[in-house]
Amino acid sequence: MDDAHRAFLDDLLSTASPSGFETAAQRVWTDYVSEFADRVETDAYGNAVAVHEGDPDAPTVAVTGHADEIGFMVRDVLDEGFLRISRVGGADRTVSKGQHVTVHADEPVQGVVGQTAIHLRDGDEEYEDVAGQFVDIGAADAAEARDHVEVGDPVTFSTGVRELVGDRIAARGVDNRAGVWAAAEGLRRATEAGVDATVYAVSTVQEEVGLQGARMVGADLDAVDAFVAVDVTHATDNPDVDRERRGPVELGGGPVIGRGSANHPVLVDLARDAAADAEVDVQIQAAGTRTGTDADAFYTARSGVPALTVSIPNRYMHTPVEVIDTGDLDAVADLLAAVVSAAGDAGGGAEPFAVEV
Q: Which residues are part of the catalytic machinery?
A: 207
User: What b/e readout covers 199-232, taking b as 16+ CB neighbours within 10 angstroms?
Assistant: bbbbbbbbbbbebbbbbbbbeebeebbbbbbbbb
Q: Is 208 annotated as a binding residue?
A: yes
Q: Is 318 annotated as a binding residue?
A: yes
User: What b/e readout covers 247-280, taking b as 16+ CB neighbours within 10 angstroms?
Assistant: bebbbbbbbbbbeebbbbebbbebbbebbeebeb
35 by Cβ neighbours in 10 Å (0-12 / 13-18 / 19+) ranks as exposed
Q: Is 55 annotated as a binding residue?
A: no
Q: Is 136 annotated as a binding residue?
A: no
Yes or no: say if 68 and 208 are a contact pair by the CB < 8 Å rule: yes
Count of other CB atoms within 10 angstroms of residue 292? 17
Q: Which of 116, 9, 29, 25 minimizes the C-alpha distance to 71?
A: 25
Rounded Cα gap, residues 340 and 59, in angstroms: 9
Alpha carbon 315 to its chain's center = 14
Q: Is 30 helix (H, G, I), strand (E, B) or coil?
A: helix
Yes or no: say if 332 and 312 are a contact pair by the CB < 8 Å rule: yes
Q: Which of 217, 230, 201, 227 minimizes the C-alpha distance to 36?
A: 201
Contacts of 279 (CB under 8 A, 6+ apart): none
Annotated binding site for Zn(2+), which residues? 66, 175, 208, 231, 318
Annotated binding site, which residues? 66, 175, 208, 231, 318
